[in-house]
Amino acid sequence: MQERDDPETIGRRVQQLRSERGMTQRQLAEPAYTPAYISTLEAGRVRASDDALRHIAGRLGVAFEELAIGRPAHLATDLRLRLTEAQRTLATGDTEEAAAQYAALFAEAERHGLPVEQATALLGLGECALDTGDLVEARQYFERAEESMAGEPLPVRVPAVRGRAVAHYLAGELRYAVYLLESTLDELNRGGLHDPDALLLLYASIIGPYMDMGAHARAAQAAEFALALAPQAGDPALIARMHRSVARTLLAEGRVAEADASLAKAAELYRQLQLRTELANCHWMRGYVYAQDGELERAEAEMREALAMLSATRAALYSSQVAVELADVLHRRGKSGEAAELLQGVLGDLSSERGAVHSAAAHRLLGIIAEDARDTEAAEEHYVRALSLLERAGAAGDLADLCRLLGDLLRRTGRVEAALDAYRTGLGHRTAPGTTTLGPAPAQPPL
């Protein structure tokens, strides 16, 4: 609990509450204290003991903390109830409304000195900003949340760390995103802090950055870990709604501890709903593995499942990533028209600041489709755009591959010197997947 208010503030509060209830100083004092003591206390000339305040609070019918620090009874539990409401709003896709709820709740928690609730609201605001693509703002919210939880155990801080990493990743800062996620995973596993929710969140979030850096083996392993850790709930939204209703009833009956327990369960289920975005990446990863093995029909099914999950949560940046991979599978299955249509939609959702790597991948594949259609001018234009985007993001493996494609195209059209330049650029970026950009793999969980 925060430090008690000064005697004058407490005295005014006691006097106001006593007057509102029509009580005399004698009625408030009896049987343990005298009217003179109450008069002195209300005038702010004595610092009341905890026992005296508890007696007065009981006579006034309020909680001890309402007298001591001015915090209404059960405020923290009520705030947690409303935070789960905001979680529900975000999980069901109404990002703007969720952001408004979180902002109001943060202001209220800050006013009453409730740091845990402040941190929860900041995490919610960060998630809202990720959904809308405001990546700088998202990162700032997550940084503030992490600062406010500096004294908490690492598993408690994981959502803030993961949020920061995702914001950096979506801004194209792949290496730093991987560093944040891997170092946190390593610290958790080496320290024996095998919190399944924290590990699930980190493993599911690291798949995208791994893939974009060419660390396919690590991405596949992370996906399997995430799916093994994924909590099983029949219908999280339905169960969470039940827990919220139960919490309201318990709170009305004054059963605060039980209400808190129900709210904790509801909050966890809403986290699972938000994890649909992360778990969709696991389906995408499985699809990628099937595609690498030539099982294109199974790959298409997994990627369509991932895309449907992401579209349901309005996760535009993530769904664009999966859409590019699905388009590649469709192209390989002879459905180039559908693939091109999907890719044009992706480019409409992204910009060089938001999803540069995925924009580049879309341009690369459109270039290949244009080459297949013998439209070398369009193909070259797409390759050059992709090259510009990848150079900015520093995706070395993708750059090398793209330079090869561009060099081959230039050579076939008779521009040998330009082709050699493209090949030289590609050789400068050539790496074995994941070897020069990543250090040793993080310690693994005891699954």
Q: What is the pLDDT of residue 437?
A: 46
145 — pLDDT class (breaks 50, 70, 90): very high
**pLDDT tens string 335-391:** 999 999 998 888 876 655 556 777 888 888 999 999 888 998 999 999 888 888 877
Whether residue 117 contacts residue 155, with contact meaning beta carbons closer than 8 Å, is answered with: no
Q: What number is the average pLDDT over the span 152-176?
A: 89
More confident residue, 137 or 131: 137
pTM over 0.85: no
> Distances from the Cα of 376 to the Cαs of 233, 343, 368, 383, 398, in angstroms?
51, 18, 9, 10, 21
Q: What is the pLDDT of residue 434?
A: 38
Q: What is the pLDDT of residue 313?
A: 58
Long-range contacts of 345-352 (CB under 8 A, 24+ apart): 346/320, 349/316, 349/317, 349/320, 350/317, 350/320, 352/389, 352/392
Lowest mean pLDDT among 101-115, 257-271, 315-329: 257-271
Q: What is the pLDDT of residue 274?
A: 62
CA angle 78, 84, 90 (to 5 degrees): 140
**pLDDT tens string 288-297:** 778 877 889 9
Q: What is the 3-state secondary structure of the chain?
A: CCCCCCHHHHHHHHHHHHHHCCCCHHHHHCCCCCHHHHHHHHCCCCCCCHHHHHHHHHHHCCCHHHHHHCCCCCHHHHHHHHHHHHHHHHHCCCHHHHHHHHHHHHHHHHHCCCHHHHHHHHHHHHHHHHHHCCHHHHHHHHHHHHHHCCCCCHHHHHHHHHHHHHHHHHCCCHHHHHHHHHHHHHHHHHCCCCCHHHHHHHHHHHHHHHHHHCCHHHHHHHHHHHHHHCCCCCCHHHHHHHHHHHHHHHHHCCCHHHHHHHHHHHHHHHHHHHCHHHHHHHHHHHHHHHHHCCCHHHHHHHHHHHHHHHHHCCCHHHHHHHHHHHHHHHHHCCCHHHHHHHHHHHHHHCCCCCCHHHHHHHHHHHHHHHHHCCCHHHHHHHHHHHHHHHHHHCCHHHHHHHHHHHHHHHHHCCCHHHHHHHHHHHHHCCCCCCCCCCCCCCCCCCC
Q: What is the pLDDT of residue 233?
A: 37
Nearest alpha-carbon partner for 306 in 217, 211, 175: 211
**pLDDT tens string 80-98:** 888 888 987 887 667 889 9
Q: What number is the average pLDDT over the span 313-327?
A: 75
Q: What is the pLDDT of residue 429?
A: 59
* pLDDT mean across residues, the chain: 80
Q: What number is the average pLDDT over the span 234-256?
A: 57
**pLDDT tens string 228-239:** 776 543 445 555
Q: What number is the average pLDDT over the span 178-201?
A: 86
